[in-house]
Amino acid sequence: SFFRGEVGNYSLRLVGQNPGGGNAVSLVNKVPHPQLLPAGFGMLSATQFLIEVPPGAGQLVVTLDGGKDVDLFVRFGQRVEQRSNGLVIADQQAISASGNETIVVNQFSQPPIRSGFYFIGVANYSATASTVSIVAGYDPLTVIVGPAGAGKTTMLRAAVTTLHSPPHRAVFGFAPTAK
């Protein structure tokens, strides 16, 4: 169960028993969290991570940086699970032989981004322990409007260049046409 409340100028959020049990470490928006993963042989770590995405967020970006073969999983509203046959139950996953994984959840994802709690699971496929850094962050959706000739394209070109640099955030552009 989750409890959220306010007392005076202070906001309080207590994360009690998580759906599915187990440990969940709360992450702060865009603050790296180091974690030692025991040798996993493909097993999902018992410790998962949790971030609350507020209303109006345009995307959630989760990155996992480590030196070994580790994989990343994200699930909305409940813990990432691993069945006895090894199948991982998650909404999104990033799986490769590298130690660097990224998941972007936005309005084009299936399922699309929504406000609430996202659980983040990691699996170490290495025969040895691995120290990783996990970062989860959300950004508001930005809409830019203006008349022709106002400089939107020039400004967007610079913004896209900046956003494509690490951590390689997704950029989507839509332009209406008079045709």
CA distances from 159 to 150, 155, 165, 171 (A): 16, 6, 10, 9
Cβ contact 50:24 at 8 Å: yes
Residue 112: count of CB within 10 angstroms of its CB: 10
Residue 48 DSSP symbol:
E
Each residue's pLDDT, cut to its tens digit, for the chain (179 residues) gives 344 444 444 444 444 444 445 678 999 999 999 999 888 788 899 899 999 999 989 999 999 998 788 999 999 999 999 999 989 999 999 999 888 999 999 999 999 999 999 999 999 988 889 899 999 999 876 666 667 777 777 777 776 776 666 655 666 666 655 55
Q: Closest by alpha carbon to 43, among 22, 18, 13, 14?
A: 22
Kindly state the helix (H) or strand (E) to which residue 160 belongs, with its residue range: helix 152-164
Query: Is 0.75 surpassed by the pTM of this model?
Result: no
Tokens of 106: 């936005």
